[in-house]
Structures are given as structure tokens and as C-alpha cells.
Chains A and B, each alone.
Chain A
Amino acid sequence: MSLWSRIVNGLRADRLNREIDEEFASHIDEAIEQGREPLEARRAFGSALRQRESSRDARLIVWLDSLRADAVFGWRQLMKRKVTSAAAILSLALAIGACTSAFRIVDALLLRPLPIYAPERLYSCYHTSILLGGNPLTLDGYEYPMFRQMRAAVKDQAELIAVSFASRTDLTYGSDLEMEKGYVQYVSGSMFGSFGLRPALGRLLTEADDLTPGAHPYAVLSYDYWTRRLGGDPKILERTFRMGGNLYEIAGVAPPEFAGVEPGTVTDIFVPTMMNPGVTQLDRSWIRILVHLKPGIAAESVRDRLRPPFQAFRTGMVKRRFAGANKERINKLLSEALMLEPAGAGISRMQRDFHQPLTALSVLVALVLLIACANIANLMTAQAASRTREMALRVSIGAGRWRLLQLMLVESAWLATLASAIGWAFAWWSAPFIVNRINPPINPARLILSVDWRVLGFTAVLTLAVTCLFGLGPALRTSGIKPASALKGGEDPHSRGRLMHALIAVQTAFCFLVLFVSGLFVATFDRLSNQPTGFSAERILTVDAEAKRTNTPVFWEQIAERMRSVPGVEKVALAGWPLLRGDATIGSISVDGRPASAELGYFLDVSPEWFDVMKIGLIAGRDFRQDEKDPGSAIVSEAFAKQFFHGENVIGRYFEKAESRERYQIVGLVHDVRYRDVRGPMLPVAYVPFRWVDASGAPKPKRWATFIVRSAIANPESLAPALRQEVPRSNGAFQVGNIQTQQEINQSHTVRERLLAMLALFFAVVALLLAGVGLYGVLNYSVLQRRKEIGIRVAIGAQPGSIARLITADALSMVFIGAIAGLTIGLISARSITSLVYQVKATDAGVMAFPVAVLLAAVLLAALPAVIHAVRIDPAQMLRSE
């Protein structure tokens, strides 16, 4: 009550003053009424001012009142220089906003623990493998039969949970013509229980839903999907949907906070692993294995128990699939060991892909913030200079050092708080903007960007840190003022300049670093996106299709024929999958009965005319004929011929797939293309006929294929609706999946690089702008300070050139020092981002020249106004005004 009244009094201090004064006046009045002399009564009362001060102190909280007074004063100071303050606040807001939005994304993707029971005890299995060829990759996809053995091995130490990779899947709540996509994830029935989750509606899956393959058609919807797609329908438990030939009953809705375990993807529908045909397949890696440790169990001991079943299963797999493969490769495969990594913040590919880019961007953003802070520190220093007399006066009438410090810091806090508020609004908009650009449009990223105490706390801490960063230096300097010398105007005028120049050097170093790194990113994106792929993506539409039952190649060819009659379609070919989608089939190659190669060959099944549709040039030999079969003939790429035939003439020669002993005769040689990835060397590819036959020559069925459609019109995506509807109508035995242009597929490989380049470029521009403004401010200030000196110099005949040198010499040497420092840091730090750059070396002359040139231009531009100002100083006028 009393504290409250004191706070309230603090807020209405003027009224309090009046009240106290009135009470004092009534005291004097009373005294006069009692017959005392007015003069005597006033004298006896004592110093009204002092009494009022101590009365006030009794009735309000002193520090709060002084804070209020400082806040009001600080606000007035800001308003006095509206333009400068607005510029300072906006530049800081941009930097703080960028930091906040970077934090929001980093937190949502990498740091925030899953909303589950004991997330710190959740681990995920992975191993580093050469299975897919090329450099060793981190793999975390496993086979279900192995998972079963592993689960049994650690039953009393940990709960093992199988979780499939969330994938966009066709499903329908009505007829087949109303197919839609949903992110479906197959999960162990024990997951919800182990995570301690409670249903928002109905029930969640349990272990009883995960016992017999194909026997548990129950689904749990995510809360997000339930509200977004189904409008939060309370009767949802009565509805069913069809997916992949099964009719699923909706068992319940998951709690709102749980969106699956893959940050970057919001799972729509959870179904039991038993509903996936993969549970009995030995060679399908389709699940992640999560390990939820029981209390007090060490991850290492569980890992050691998981390794024997892992090894046993891998040995079996190698025997089954790689019997004829290269010995060295087999040994390598067998020596790969299972590892565990913490998965308390979830586990997703997006985390792996964006961990480094986000870290790099965060550093850039922090540098931009530091540049902005340096700017404001310089501004404050310059302003403090013009307020020397005011401060000296305050000290002389008894203000303590702490009080002055408070005064200055409150003003800084105003700046920082206003900037944070605007920055917050900026982050509000920019974080989702960036997330929308993380993934290609067909597979958009969805990050839960909640605003909670973590983000609020981050901004609060940032605001405080920023206040201290730019406010403390100038405040300490000002508060340490010596009134006697200051009032005489005898303070060393260069000490301030030294601080400002040091900050210029720091700014330049950071700015250079930002420019340098963003130059690397932009160059990387440029190289990657302009790199020849070896085929033409123009006017190509890829149509993925899935047969309801596996079907013979002839069936697929009939559909392709039907597609050719759709208006606007020029040519149609068939392939196992589109180039660059990321799929691959690999095998060791054996030539002329020699042992299997250590290097792998890559395969793709294509129909005749495929090379023509993709515009891949034939170097020698011929295209496939309609009746050619796999195994039988093959067309190989230049890299293949070079790798396995040492560049000899390959037409008519034979090779074998070492694993299956299938024999191929080479009928054609084609140019290299980008097969799986746009990075790295061209892979040795062997194309095989689309018609697949078994050992006896009978056609083998295929379930999936991709139609490669070349359109006669410029925008192939306009064909999509016709192809999606028209074609299945003529033949209901298959359904159309994703339809993508080849351009989209190509671009999806550079989404990360494009995002990095775009943001880095943006921050580079901001950094440059801030540093330029900073330099301009300092130069301008020094011209103002040295007006007299310049006037005298001009009066005694100094040339404009020497004046310009006088003004800029110090600052430019600082810029030089800063640039050298920035370059050094840049070269050192470039090592930590080698995986983010492609075909660009940090030491390339071009990469180094770019920031140097840009910085030089910016410095000249920033220095120009101050130099012009200095040269134009009229000595007569200047000296007269003194």
C-alpha cells in the first residue's frame, strides 16, 4: 500500500510538489493568524526548499523519481534532435530486429526442446556411411527388422521409438478424385506414452496399435492439421480417410504443442508403423530410431548394447546385397559404427542442412549490430562533447558521478528500447518471411515460431547489452568530467577523437568481414546456379506416378502414349525418376571379368527418346530401341567411359553389375549430366532401358515411374491440371503424385545458397550503409570541431588538398587498419565455412577485390561531404564569428 502510494506519487511529482507547498503556505498563514510577524514566521519555518525536498523524499521512492526525471530529460534530449535520433533508432532497430529474427529461427529450429516428457533423455541413432557412394554421409534411416532386434536388446534401459520420415502423402476423405496431400508419419505406438503426451480429443496411439502388420488402421491427427484442414470439427472421430489402399479411422487429436519430432515440418497425421509395408522388408531404410533413455541410464551404455544387433544386421545386408562388390568397400561398410546424438530439440534434415548457414548468418547479424552500436556510441560521444558545459555545471552544483552516469545511460536506454520495439516488429515480419524461403515451394518449411519468454528474454537481454555497449563508454567519459577544466574549455580536444577513431577502425573491420563473407556466399550461389547441368530443363515437366498394383513397363508406355495426345505436349519419355531429384541407384562395376571396382557406377532406367526430351547429346552409338531390355543394353556417360574404360572406345563393349552379375552391352555414349547433385564432379552414369525383365526374360513389374514431358509452350506448369485429371480418367489403375517442373527441381539444390546469398547481401548493404554513415558522422564532427583551425590555415594560404588531407588522414588510416584486420579475420574465419561455399576460394583475387572496392567507394562517398564542407570554410566569416 505504502510502496504503491510512493510509486504513484513518483508518477505525479508535480502535483505532490504543489501539495507540499500548499501545506507550507497554510502553516505560515496560521502563524500570521496567531499574530506572529510574517517575516519572523518565515524565518522560523526554515528553508522551504529543503523541507520540500526531504518531504518529497519521504513520500516517494527517490531512485524511482530520479529515474523518472532522467527519463523525461532523456526523452527531451532525443526530441531535440529528431532527425539524428530517428536515424540512430532506425539503424539500431534494423540490427536488433535482424538479431531477434535470427534468434527466433535458430531457437525454433535448433534449440527449443520438444514439448515432451524428459526431452534431455531423447537421443537419435545415426552412422556415417559410404553406402550411397561419394563422400561418407551421415545417415539416420534404418530398416524395421533391425529396429526390432535393437529394441529387444535395450528393453530395460531405454524405450526405442521408430519414426518414419514425415512425407507428403496422397490421401482422401472422399472419392479418389479428391486426393489431397498430408504430411504423414509412421510412428511406434509407444511414442505418445513415452513422450507423456495427453490427447486433445479421443485417444492417442498405444503399443496395442502397433502389433500386427497391416492390422491397425488408426490415425492420430496433429492439432494444427485438425484445426487448419478440418476446422476443428468435434465430430472428427467419426470420420475416416483413405491412404494407400487402407481406410483409416481417426482415433484422436494430439495436444496442440506437439507437432512431431522434425523441426521444419509439422506432421499432419500419425499412423502406426505396422501400417507401413516396410515393417517386414529387410532392405528398406525408412525409419529413424529414437532412444528415450530411462532415468539414470547413460547414453553410452545403451549405444554399446545397440551396436551388436546393428553389426549383425549390417553383415547380413552386405552378404545379401553386396556379395560381388569390391572387397575394400565391403570392409568399409562393415566397419561403420552406430552412434547416438541428443535429439531433445527434435531431429530433422533441415537441422542438419541449416545448422551451419544459420550460425554463419547469426554471426553476420551480430556484426551488423556491433557496427550499429559503434555508430551510436560515436553519436553519443559527439553529443556529449556539445554538452560538456552542461555536465560540468551539473557536477559543480553537486551531482555525483553515479547520478550523471544514470542520466546518460537512461538516454541510451531510451534509444535501445525504442529500437527494440521497432526491431521486434521487424522480426515479427521477417522471421516468417525467411522461413518461407528455406525450402522449395513444393515442400514448404513450417517452423513453429512461437513468441514466448525465450524470445522476450532474448530481446530484453539484447536491449540491455546494447545499451551498455554503446552507452557505457561515452557515459563513463562524460561522468568523469572535471568541471574546472571543462568550464574553462581546456579539456584535451583530441581524447574524444581518439575514441571515435578507434570505433571507426572496429566498424571498418566488421564491415569488411561482412562484405567478404557475403561476397563468398554470393559467388557460391552464382557459380552453382550458372553451372551447366548437361541437359535442358526448359519446358520440362516431371510427373510422378504410382500404380495401384505394380505394373509392367508396357502399361506405363501406354499411359505415355495417352499423354502425347494432350494438347500442348510435345514429347513424353519415361524414367525411373527425374534427374537431380536426389535419387540414385548404385553398383560396383566389373569390366571383362575383372574384380569389382572400388568406385561406384550410377544407374537410371529410361525409355527411348528420353535423351532427346532432355536434350542430352549423343557422342557415339545410338539411342535405345523400343524392344531393348534391362539387363541387356546400356548407354553410358563420358565419365563412366573414363572411369571404367579409361577413355577407350566403349561402343560394343560389355560390363557387369558386380552385385547382381547382370551383363550389359554398351550401345551409346552421351555427354555428362548432373545426376544426383549439382555439386562435386560429374558422376559415372549408365542408362539402362526402362523395360525391366527377370532372368528368364519375362517383364518385371514397376510400381513407380516418372513421365518426363516436354511441352510445346513456354510455361510447362500450365499442362499440370490437364495431365493430373485427364490421364487417370482414361486409365484408373494409377494415380498421379507430384508434378514439378525440371526448373523447380534444379533450383531446389540452390535454395539454401540462394537464401544465404540473399540475406548476406542484405546484411552487407546494411553494414556498408551503417559504416558509411558512421564515418561521415565522425568526419563531419571533426570538421566542426576544427573549424577555427581550418579557418586559420585557409587564411594563411593552405591549399584545398592539404585541408582535405588534414581532415581525412586520421580517419582513413583507421579505415586502413580496420580493413587489414577485417581481411585477416575473414581469411581465418573462411575456413569454418568451407562447406557453405562452392568453387570459390577465400584467397581468390576477385573475392578479395570485391569488398576492397566496395569499401573504398563507400569511404570516398562518406568522406566527400565533410571534405567539401572543410574546403568551403570561409576564413573571414569563421574568424569574425569568434
Chain B
Amino acid sequence: MKGKSLISINDYSKAEMLRILDIAEGFEKNPRQPILSDKIVSTLFFEPSTRTRLSFESAANHLGARVIGFTDAATSSAKKGESLKDTILTVACYSDIIVMRHPLAGSARWASEVSPVPIINAGDGANQHPTQCLLDMYSIRKTQGKLDKLNIAFVGDLKYGRTVHSLTIAMCNFDTTFHLISPDELKLPSYVKQHIKDNNLQYHQYRTIEEAIDQVDVLYMTRVQRERFADPMEYENVKNSYILTKENLKNCKDNLKVLHPLPRVNEISENVDDMSQAYYFQQAQNGVYVRQALLSTILGVTK
């Protein structure tokens, strides 16, 4: 994995995913390890992001690395019309590894092909966000004590949510049963469902959280966006079905945890935040450990 870019979750085998999770566990126990004090990490954010950028920068800082970069394409030469290739070739002169987010799908793969230093994809348009996927897996393993044979429910926008697609595909390695809760307009795409079938695993589809809540170990919430609906009335009709409230969790299993990639708008009521099931802020915290594991592994510096 040393020197190898991480562009898509499909780039990692099951063993490689588990290795990253194991290394991340070590960083959770002991986060401040200045093992990258001679390294420079570039964070190139061609579109804004709060969590992903800050957690990468926090991870790099915990490891003692220096961080350079930009937080908005408007402050980079991309605004002057520089090609992505030229930006990457230039920045590679200044740093040992590049973390990038870009609005165009496939941009990270292209960057990895032209770059002499490894690239970590921090989101390429609607395509991939592999570090989110790994931190979700880390959070699942940590809260459930295992990854195998879990019942995972995805709630909300399962059609456009890239985190849902990547996590579903990754969890197909672990004998998962999937519970898919969404309005008809936002069902999981058929190619992802086919992937579940190809792995001889099961999925069940529902319209409401209540129908599935007593069976699941992990409830993964996503945001249902108004602009995804052709008919605004349809949005009004369904929007409340995908807002998680305290009442929804009455009949849940004892081990259930609620995850959300954040940012949240209103899809989880704030009165859920204090419940033992709420795990989304710890999930965001886990992102730092997983990104520490990735930076150190890809740079080939592990203790």
C-alpha cells in the first residue's frame, strides 16, 4: 500500500481495508505520533468541504507533518484556466502526498496517473469518497465489535448518495444484510443492488424507518434533498418519513447505533443527539484516526 494512491474503495482488497482499520485503532489509542515530521501534505480542495479537509489536516498535524494547500479553487491557478494535470505536477514538486477534492468525477484517477506522488481522493464529484467509506467501516466495527453478519439500514437518499453506494459495495465483503429505506424516487441504483445479489447477500426495501427499525444493528442516515424531486409536492409528502426522531428508536435493538456522514440538516432531530444510539459525532472523530492510518501507510511510515 506504500506509495499507492487511494482513489476508489474498489482499489483496496478486503485485507487492505482491514489493515487500515487496524492501524487506525492504534492511532485512536495514541493519536499524537509525530512520525511524519519530515513530510509535507498538500490538501487541494477545488470545492469547499469542512469535515473532510479539517479532519485530514488534523490527522496530518497529529502526525507532525506540514500541511500546504488551498481551500477553494478560486484561490488557485485553476481559476486562471490551469489544467488539473499542470496543477498536480506543480504541487507534486512541493509535497510528498496530495489529498484532493474536485467537483468532476474521475479527476482523482486522472491526477493519480499524472502525479509522481501518491494521491488520496477526498471526493471526486458524485463518484467516490473512499476515506469516508473506511471511516464508516471503522465506526461500524468499533460500535458492533465486528463487521461480519450485521444488519445495516440505509435511510434517505439512496440514489444519489455516493457514501451509501461505496459503503454497500465495501460491506458486501462481510456477509451483510441490507435494509434499504427510501422514497420510491430515491431507491438504491440497480447496479448496486446487483452487486449485493452477485455476492449472494440479501436486501430488503422499505418506505419507512418503523418497518425495519427492530431488525437493524446500524442505522445509516442520509439527507433527502428537496431538489432531487421532480414534483415538490412529492417531497412535501415524504420528507417527514426520513427524519429520525426519539420515538423511532423505541423498538430498536440494544446495540443499534445511528451513523450519518454529516452535514446534517434536519434528518436527525436534535433530541436524538443525547441518546446512547447517536454516534455521528464520534464517527466524524474516527475520520481523523482513519486518515492518520492512510497518510502514514501510504507514505510508508508506520511504527
Partners in one complex: no
Interface residues of A, Cβ cutoff 8 Å to B: none
Interface residues of B, Cβ cutoff 8 Å to A: none
